[in-house]
Chains A and B, each alone.
Chain A
Amino acid sequence: MLDLPGGHVRGGFLMKTILIIMVYLIFAPLLGGLLAGIDRWISARMQARFGPPIWQPFYDVLKLRQKENIVVRRSQNFYIFFFLLFIIFTGGLFFAGYDLLLVIFALTLAGIFFVLGAYKASSPYSFLGAERELLQMMAYEPMVILVAIGMYMVTGSFYIADINSFPHPLLRYLPGLFLGFVFILVIKFRKSPFDLSMSHHAHQELVRGIITEFSGKTLAWIEIAHWYENVFLLGIVYLFCASQPLAGCLLALAVYFMVILVDNVFARLKWQTMLESSWAAAAVLGLGNIIVLHFLR
């Protein structure tokens, strides 16, 4: 039951919300998987390779489901299941139009289940990955909350439904916050130079980091969770231009392409650089934007 500005809860509205959530549950992973396939295809082209077919991520996940599930600690997979559950929950809240801050808190909760699962696995590599994942969360969290504050300052509401129906593109008021958000999206999409907690190839210094000790079906859950998460993150990008839906979608796609490009151009940086630069981005771009808004109001 969403508290609309009027405060009424209507049956029709509830039906609509349920419908949106159903659509999200089914189509978000399809879209997320497809985006992942496109990502691999584009990356391959950028590296002058042919690359796998676009549907490869789906084949991977289906194959993972049939693999043996090997664990170090018997309870480690439970955390990952709740990670998936809360990621789906977060996206559901987002697309149903709830409070943006609550969405961010739910996302944090989901992320913490992921980290705890890796801690529980108790191997040096997953431990290192977990610590780095936490560093990543600490690095991007301020920026994400600042985005919510900025959107609230412009639209007067934390509710995504209200932000979505704001008549002007938010990008016009929040350019700094937008740039800052794109910056931390590199972390959230687990892309180079900030793919510190896990790497795509296991031959690097952190092996596969946070996911080192997960296998089979559990690894498939992690993959699906990322699909849900990526769609939801692009949803936030869309909000910056929600008054023109088409432009909003294009903006989200452009940002996605940008992140892939960055991924292929940069090598991994140290966590110090990540923490410093993302907090600097939050302080300069994010806070700077909010200061300007505050004094213009």
Chain B
Amino acid sequence: MINLSAVIDPGCRALFFYGGIVGLLLFLILFPLLAALVLLFANDRLRNIMVKAATVIIPVYSLGLVFTHFNLPVFHFALQIELMNRIMLALEILLGMYIFWVGLKYRKYWISILIFIQVVLMTGFELSNGHNLVIEHNLFVDKFSIIMALIIGIIGSLIGLYALGYMKDFHAHYQEPSKDNRKFFFFIIYVFLSAMFGIVFSNNLLWLYFFWEITTLCSFLLIRYKQTEEAVNNASRALLYNLLGGVAFVIAIIYLYVTKGVVELDKMIALGKAGALVPAVLLSFAGMTKAAQLPFSSWLLGAMVAPSPVSALLHSSTMVKAGVYLIIRLAPILQGSLAGLLIALVGGVTFLLGSFIAVSQSNAKRVLAYSTIANLGLIVMCGGIGTYEAVWAGIMLIIFHAIAKCLLFLNVGVIEHRIHSRDIEDMSGLIISMPRISIMMQIGIAGMFLAPFGMLISKWAVLKALVDYNPLLAVFVVFGSAATLFFWVKWMGKLLEVVKPLQDREKGISGTEMLPLYILASLTVGVCAFYPAISSRLIEPYVIDLYGRTTTMAQGNIVIMSFMMGLIALFPLSFINYGKRVKVNDSYLSGDNADSSIKFYGAAGSIKDVQIKNYYLENYFGEAKLTENGIVLCSIFLVVMFGVAFL
């Protein structure tokens, strides 16, 4: 029986309207699933058609949410379907059995143990309390869900489109041991998107948990895609850490139900700090495992073995964003609590050390991964302190980071296929050999740290929120940002600097790869123009609804930032003067140039190549040492966090 009883805020009761929105939500969850099923059996031609269709349909429907939702703060949906709960429970058990078997197969027994605990607790809970559970609303949608849906819908679909060309290339040119299993690959990608929509629309925590577990499994399957030993090991590690979070999730649900008789997100948040701190801390723990915070960050680095679209997906629109979504959701509960402060400290240390370690990395994907880990730390920090300013900043970070990071990953994927390396040192002269890709790369990098682009705006807001909450916490941002600047600019420099003549390598990149790049590059810039609207229409109403007050960027500052953007936009115009009124000469090699600027005379008349390499400052920012310290420090914070929450 489908019971569509509308229990919505006053102001709109038109049933067709309500039906329209619930239809949209279900469509967004079910359509990717349908697409996934088609893709599981589709041949190459049908796959092309299906993915392209999905790339149009999913973003359009996500945008539809913005326009049908009008000015209402929040919609809740009863949507009582007894069958649905049964199906979910059955799927959960199946999923659990599969993971249990995976643990045994790869001899990772902790995986089996954790999933066993999880499934036993969950089925025990559902079977013993299933009939007593009163769920008023299973689904909901508010402004924050809409923002997340836009990110998942638009960016996720673009990654799907990109994967079409990329995966073809991947199997055509690479002598990987993996067999061409693209049907399965695309199936998982779209199941993942479906689960992500499920996460952001679920009000019933049991549903949320169900979708949460699906993303865990999907990420495992995607990371394992190459089936090499490394891939299997890294995928298992990702699974193990996320299952730790899963166990915390189950305990949170049971604890919440036993103490308060509640299993719904909105009711939990309404309970506030006094009533729901312990489950909120447990859920935040689950969020931190998913968002790859220290001490769990290594799973996200290991995920680099997967093809680039997977990295882009995990880092930008799905997976890690589910983790921070949950923590930002719970921010009103965490606000002002000691446990919340400890969560903020974990985020702060993760930001600081993640940014530091990125300085020492020359592998492009690892730099991006550490930057993701660091920025997620910043968002976790916002959730942990939980003030209205922090929540505003945190949501801004989620938006801007998703776009710019996705652009960077997809770019690196293309570059890697062309130059057969993901080392930043090998990207020297990319501005000549791959001009369009290189320019988009630079837009992405600028988007990550430079004024007046998005991430800088958000970091600024974070800084302000921290100073207003407790200025001492700002120390993480102050020092971390300095390192951020260093590693991004030296990468930009590497792309610009040209030592020797290079050939054009940009030809032959498929349109399905280029189009998402163009769109994302435009979005990286464009969202800076639209963010005042995004803020006033979506973020501020959400924050006001929770806190009764909000913050925003001062009008004057927005004007100046726009002006700066305008100035930067003039930069390409300088190329009108390219080569005019200048005399071109060889670079200065102490007067011993042997072959223009490429070679020079060394000792005893030998001729040597000019080599230019970046600093990596390993003595200061070495990965091993910092990671070790970070793991110890954050583990202590987590133990204390549980201590203060439970006692």
Q: Which residues of A contact B (CB under 8 A)?
A: 1-3, 68-75, 77-78, 81-82, 85-86, 89, 93, 98-99, 101-102, 105-106, 108-109, 112, 115-116, 119-127, 130-131, 134-135, 137-139, 141-142, 145-146, 149, 152-153, 158, 207, 212-213, 272, 275, 279, 282-283, 287, 290-291, 293-294
Are A74 and B585 touching (Cβ within 8 A)? no
Does A102 contact B567, Cβ atoms closer than 8 Å?
A: no
* Complex contact B483–A138 (CB within 8 A): yes
- Is B1 an interface residue when CB atoms closer than 8 A count as contact? no
Contacts A101-B463, A137-B486 given; indicate if A131 touches B478 (C-beta within 8 A). Answer: no
Q: Do residues A135 and B615 form an inter-chain contact, with CB atoms below 8 A?
A: yes
Q: B577 at the A/B interface (Cβ < 8 Å)?
A: yes
Q: How far is the CA of A293 from the CA of B470 in the complex (A)?
A: 11
B33-41, B153-161, B212-220, B493-501: which lies at the A interface? Answer: B493-501
Q: Chain B contacts of A152 at CB under 8 A? A: 467
State A1–B559 Cα separation when bound (angstroms).
Answer: 8
User: Which residues in A have their C-beta under 8 angstroms from that of B615?
Assistant: 131, 135
Query: Which of A134, A212, A282 makes the CB contact (< 8 A) with B490?
Result: A134
Query: Contacts A3-B554, A89-B567, A294-B471; is A78 near B451 (CB within 8 Å)?
Result: no
Considering only CB atoms and an 8 Å cut-off, how many residues of chain B contact the other chain? 62
Question: Are B557 and A102 neighbours in the complex by a CB distance under 8 Å?
Answer: yes
Tell whether, in the assembled complex, residue A141 and residue B489 are in contact, meaning their CB atoms are under 8 Å apart. Answer: no
Inside 8 A of A146's CB, which chain B residues have their CB? Answer: 478
Known: A108-B485, A124-B587, A287-B475. A70 touches B582 (CB 8 A): yes
Minimum Cβ distance to chain A for residue B218 (Å)? 38
Max count, chain A CB within 10 A of own CB: residue among B478, B494, B499, B567:
B478
The docked-state distance in angstroms from the alpha carbon of A212 to that of B612 is 15
Per the bound structure, the CA–CA distance linking A142 and B482 in Å amounts to 6
Do A81 and B574 form a contact, CB below 8 Å, given A119-B497, A124-B589?
Answer: yes
Kindly list chain A residues whose C-beta atoms are within 8 Å of the C-beta of B452: 105, 109
Question: Are B556 and A124 closer than 8 Å at their CB atoms?
Answer: no
Residue with the highest number of chain B CB atoms closer than 10 Å, among A68, A102, A135: A102
Are the C-beta atoms of B471 and A153 separated by less than 8 Å? Answer: yes
User: What per-residue 1/0 map shows which CB atoms of B457-471 lie under 8 Å from chain A?
Assistant: 000100110010011
**Contacts A93-B560, A131-B614, A207-B588; A71 near B554 (Cβ below 8 A):** no
Contact partner of A68 (CB less than 8 A), chosen from B451, B486, B497, B583, is B583
Q: Can you give 17 A-B contacts (C-beta < 8 A)?
A: A1-B556, A69-B582, A69-B583, A71-B584, A74-B582, A74-B584, A82-B568, A98-B556, A105-B451, A112-B450, A120-B496, A131-B493, A134-B486, A141-B481, A142-B479, A145-B478, A213-B588
Residue in chain B with minimal CB distance to A2 = B556
A4 nearest CB neighbor, chain B only? B556
Question: 7 tightest CB-CB pairs across the interface, nearest first?
Answer: A123-B587, A119-B493, A78-B574, A105-B451, A141-B482, A74-B579, A3-B556
B462 to chain A, nearest CB (A): 12
**Chain B residues near A75 (CB-CB < 8 A):** 574-575, 578
Return the chain A residue nearest B571 by Cβ.
A82
User: A149 to B612, Cβ gap below 8 A?
Assistant: no
Closest to A123 in B: B587
The answer on a CB contact under 8 Å between B597 and A78 is no
A131 (CB) vs chain B CBs: closest residue: B615
A282 to B456, CA, bound (A): 22
Q: Which residue in chain A gives the minimum CB-CB distance to B612?
A: A127
Q: Looking at B489, B568, B620, which has the most chain A CB atoms within 10 Å of its CB?
A: B489
> Bound state CA distance, A67 and B514, in angstroms?
44
Q: Determine the chain A residues whose CB is within 8 A of the CB of B560 once the complex forms.
A: 93, 98, 102
State A103–B578 Cα separation when bound (angstroms): 31
CB contact list, B580-602 vs A, under 8 A: 581-590, 597
Expressed in whole angstroms, the Cα–Cα distance for A293 and B474 within the complex equals 14
Min distance, Cβ B613 to any Cβ of chain A, angstroms: 9
User: CA–CA, A207 to B592, complex, Å?
Assistant: 14
A138 to B451, CA, bound (A): 16
Q: Known interface pairs A122-B498, A138-B483, A146-B478. Does A99 touch B554 (Cβ–Cβ under 8 Å)?
A: yes
Find chain A residues with CB under 8 A from B614 CB: 131
> Least Cβ distance of A17 to chain B in Å?
11
Question: Is B72 an interface position by the 8 A CB rule?
Answer: no
Given A73-B498, A102-B560, A123 contacting B585 (CB threshold 8 A): no
